[in-house]
Amino acid sequence: MKYRLLGNSGLEVSAIGLGCMSMSAAYGPPADHKDMMTLIREAVDLGITFFDTAESYGPFANEELVGEALAPMRERVVIATKFGFDIDPASGKRSGRLNSRPEHIRAVADASLKRLGTDRIDLFYQHRVDPDVPIEEVAGTVRDLIQEGKVKHFGLSEAGTQTIRRAHAVQPVAAVQSEYSLWYRGPEAELLPTLEQLGVGFVPFSPLGAGFLTGAIGADTEFHATDFRNSVPRFAPEVREANLVLVEQIKTFAEQRGATPAQIALAWLLAQKPWIAPIPGTTKLHRLKENLTATDITLTASEVEDLGQAAAQIATYGDRLPAAVLAMTDH
Question: For 126, phi and psi rounded to 5 degrees?
Answer: -80, 120
Please name each of the domains of the chain with its CATH number: 3-208+273-297 (3.20.20.100)
Cα 36 to chain centroid, rounded: 18
Express as a percent the part of the chain with pLDDT over 90.
Answer: 97
CB-based contacts of 43, cutoff 8 Å, min separation 6: 18, 51, 288
Calculate helix-pair angle for 61-70, 102-116, nearest 10 degrees. 50
Res 331 pLDDT > 90: no
- Per the prediction, the chain carries an average pLDDT of 97
- pLDDT tens digits for range 59-76: 999 999 999 999 999 999
- pLDDT tens digits for range 73-107: 999 999 999 999 999 887 787 777 999 999 999 99
- pLDDT tens digits for range 254-302: 999 999 999 999 999 999 999 999 999 999 999 999 999 999 999 999 9
CA–CA gap between residue 16 and residue 314 (Å, rounded): 27
- pLDDT tens digits for range 209-224: 999 999 999 999 999 9
Catalytic residues: 57
Average of pLDDT values for 312-325?
96
- CB-hemisphere CA count at 13 Å for 129? 23
- pLDDT tens digits for range 10-54: 999 999 999 999 999 999 999 999 999 999 999 999 999 999 999
Spatial CA neighbour of 5 closest among 285, 145, 199, 287: 199
CA–CA gap between residue 206 and residue 210 (Å, rounded): 5
Q: Work out the pLDDT band at 139, boundaries 50, 70, 90.
A: very high
Task: Classify residue 91 by burial, with Cβ atoms within 10 Å: 0-12, 13-18, 19+.
Answer: exposed
Calculate helix-pair angle for 135-147, 102-116, nearest 10 degrees. 40
Average of pLDDT values for 170-181?
98
Express as a percent the part of the chain with pLDDT over 70.
Answer: 100
CA–CA gap between residue 54 and residue 112 (Å, rounded): 8
